[in-house]
A = this chain, B = another copy of it.
Amino acid sequence: MLNIAITAGGTSEQIDGVRRLTNVSTGLLGWHCLEAVMEQLQAAGRHDFRVTYILTDTAYRGVLSDRQHPFVDFLPVSDAESVYHAVDELTSRVPVDFFIHSMAISDFTIAYAAATDELAREICRLPFSEEEGVTAVREVLEHPSGRYTLSEKIPSGHNLVLGLKRTKKVIPLIKRNNPATFLVGFKLLRDVTEEELIRIANRLAEENGCDMVFANQLGELGEENHSGMLIRSGEVIARPTGKRAIAAAIVEEMMKQGGIQ
């Protein structure tokens, strides 16, 4: 039995009842990876597999054929916290053989929203001393007492400060829970040289145990012109163009490395 997991789409952090902090991602590349997995495994005559497809609200969701549908479980998620729990639960319960982690997960979630004036007044009430100043101000900037209740709709009458705090990283969970998983990571950067992109992709791979990384740049993300590098052990092993071709290359290489094809 082969267990495959794919994550796709961009997460959405709740600011209040009507506002969200979102990450831009169509989820199309993840969907094409799902299609490529189905096509390549069914072409190889395999029926002993299951795909868990973890997707956000805004992720593209295409239509599977009747032949493909029974092999896929859809697992909807919303914010970074919900992805963390879904991936932790899945990888603790199921021995995932292949994990394609294409989701754009927010690095930040909302710590608070406060009126700028209120925050300034709170800072000015601090008992300042040269040494303690920075620590005291940082403490207020991270946890002000004057803040809006985030379950309500924040009033729009005043300028606003949003405090953001880092979310827990999801990708290290995957190998921690299951060292045998073949893990495909993704790195998106902007305006860097190819050398820099490869260097940063390698660091992602080393820190999180990625067996392969697809590295690409903002501005090269269209359906047809999406391009990037598939990197394994520090080497570029493919330079596919177009989302379908990228997905096919990722899945083919992954299956080959994993001894499936």
Binding site for B on A (CB under 8 A): 12, 15, 17-25, 58, 104, 106-108, 111, 116-117, 119-121, 123-124, 128, 133-135, 137-138, 141-142, 152-153, 156, 158-166, 188-191, 218
Contact = CB atoms under 8 A, between A and B. Distances in A.
A183 B128 CA distance: 53
13 contacts: A15-B21, A18-B188, A19-B106, A20-B24, A116-B142, A119-B141, A120-B134, A123-B123, A124-B134, A152-B190, A152-B191, A160-B163, A160-B164
B162 A164 contact: yes
Contacts of A135: 120
Contact of A22 (B22, B25, B119, B128): B22
Total copies of the chain? 2
Nearest to A163: B161
B159 A162 contact: no
Residue among A12, A18, A189 with max Cβ neighbours from chain B (10 Å) = A18
Residue among A121, A141, A142 with max Cβ neighbours from chain B (10 Å) = A141
B156 A163 contact: no
Interface secondary structure of A, over-half rule: mixed
A138 B120 contact: yes
A120 B108 contact: no
B162 A161 contact: yes
Contact of A19 (B19, B22, B119): B22
A12 B120 CA distance: 27
A20 B18 contact: no
A119 to B, nearest CB: 6
A137 B120 contact: yes
A120 B141 contact: yes
A124 B133 contact: yes
A238 to B, nearest CB: 24
Given A17-B190, A116-B163, A159-B163, 17 more contacts: A12-B22, A18-B218, A19-B22, A19-B24, A20-B23, A21-B22, A108-B156, A108-B160, A116-B138, A117-B138, A124-B134, A128-B128, A152-B191, A153-B218, A160-B164, A161-B161, A161-B164
